[in-house]
A and B are shown apart, each in its own frame.
Chain A
Amino acid sequence: MGFAFNDVQRALIHNVRSFVRNEIVPLELELDPDESELRPSVLDGLRVKTKQMGLYNLDAPEEFGGPGLDTVTRTLLAMEMSQHRAGLYSACYGAFGQPDMAQLYEATDEQKERYLHPVLRGEKSSFFALTEPAGGSDPARSIQTRAKQDGDDWIINGTKVFISGADSADFGLVFARTGDRESGREGITCFIVDADTPGFTVRRVIHTLRSGHYPTELVFEDVRVPGSAVLGEVGQGFAMASERLTKNRIPYAAGCIGVAMAAHRLAIEYAGIRSVFGQKLADHEGIQWMLVENEIDIRSAALVTLDAAERADSGEPFRTEVALAKIVATESSGRVVDRAIQIHGGYGVTKDLPLERWYRELRIRRIGEGTTETQKMIVSRDLLRGRYAGLMDR
């Protein structure tokens, strides 16, 4: 484990940093403080620029037009990309490409043509529908949406909840039970469902404390899809979902750390400007200690997350490391933003600064993509079963 950046990483970080600070941050001045969507024409321009820089579709493998970067480098870039007002949002408003579509890389050629390539070109968007009203932490058991075979077709019935972006997406990956209830994770299949399929309804946007983000409730009433809509194999949907969720937790953690870094920078700057009791904030020990605690939180989260990324690159199992990174990064970035707000006093909670927004949004990060408790469950299981090589035993 050693995280000295190599020349390529240093150059990439530098490029992303100047792109975010020179091209993205000025655009944010015009947006509502809670908004996280740029005008499509503006976004098109940004996409062209990131393509020219060779930084479009960062997560895509080389054969699909991505730059073919390793996970450590992508993690560093995700931290850098998140250092703007709407920082937690995937890949900087989509200027750096779409969120990871890992499952679709395994799709049939026809499915790739119809879904993956348009997504990679920025022409289509998708949703990922796993969670249901009966629960999200244990989807293998709680999925009640059923898909029944009817000739060559499948008929899907059920309800999904908290599905991000489904109100405006073109298609979704929908997980449904195709085996009996006892079949558990082996009885779940992933279907690609076009959003204009009859019987598919977006019932509502669910209003949360995360602004500018749109989780929805979905209804499937006799939604008929052809056999060719099965992604992967029948009964293998859960394995596919777990793999995606595990991998996604690394950029998810990195996004939180990027925001924490941005909040920390604001706090340091402000501490040097604002005076109380005849001294700069920065000269008060109480403030200095908060800044040090921020530094500790950021460093620890970054190192644990980069360790998970390095582990992912090594080809060794990395589920436990990723779970640790998700816990540490989401929890510690929340603390950093909280301290940054405190240092800014009343201004910290106004919409003049992004801090209040980050504070709200980071709260959700302890729930989305697997809650802190389920991550602890993963780590404890592996620890107790002796599956997890401790830091000194690798």
Chain B
Amino acid sequence: MTKAWSPLTAETLAEVPATVGVFEVADASGVIGIDYAGGHSPFGLRGALQVWLDRGPGLSFRYERTNAYLSRFREVVQVFVNDTGEPPSNLADTENLPTGRIRQN
């Protein structure tokens, strides 16, 4: 993902569309969350990011609107794992972690 980061606040979140898509969340240490807002997510990206805002201040985020949210999510996670050697912390205990072999060109 190459978009600019925004601080995660109630104001910035209000601008986020209620559509499906993928997003990353970071704190001062770097990316800590990669996730998607799928067909079950009430209020799409906005609803999914609200969960992160509720955790407390100091986070930033970026997102992509995309109907191909599952394959894009998979791709973003796989590139992250290939770059850093481990999954983002929100996926550390996920049984369905989409580990794979995608490498950034």
Contact = CB atoms under 8 A, between A and B. Distances in A.
Say which size band chain B's interface belongs to: 20 to 34
A202 B71 contact: no
A212 B75 contact: no
Given A32-B70, A208-B68, A167 B96 contact: no
A167 B38 contact: no
Interface residues of A, number: 29
Given A35-B38, A207-B68, A201 B74 contact: no
B96 A37 contact: yes
Nearest to A201: B103
A211 interface: yes
Contact of A167 (B39, B78, B105): B78
Interface in A1-55: 32-35, 37, 39-41
Contact of B70 (A39, A201, A206, A212): A212
Given A32-B38, A203-B102, A167 B70 contact: no
A136 to B, nearest CB: 19
A167 B101 contact: yes
Contacts of B78: 167, 205
B74 A33 contact: no
B3 interface: no
B38 A202 contact: no
B72 A207 contact: yes
A167 B100 contact: yes
A9 to B, nearest CB: 35
B75 A168 contact: no
Contacts of B103: 201-203
Given A207-B71, A214-B74, A34 B102 contact: no
Contacts of A202: 100-103
24 contacts: A32-B40, A33-B38, A33-B40, A34-B69, A37-B96, A39-B95, A41-B95, A167-B100, A167-B101, A168-B98, A168-B99, A168-B100, A195-B101, A201-B101, A202-B100, A202-B102, A205-B75, A207-B66, A207-B68, A208-B71, A209-B67, A212-B70, A216-B102, A351-B40
Closest 7 CB pairs of A and B: A207-B68, A351-B39, A33-B39, A167-B100, A32-B38, A205-B75, A168-B100
Interface of B: 38-40, 66-72, 74-75, 78, 95-96, 98-103, 105
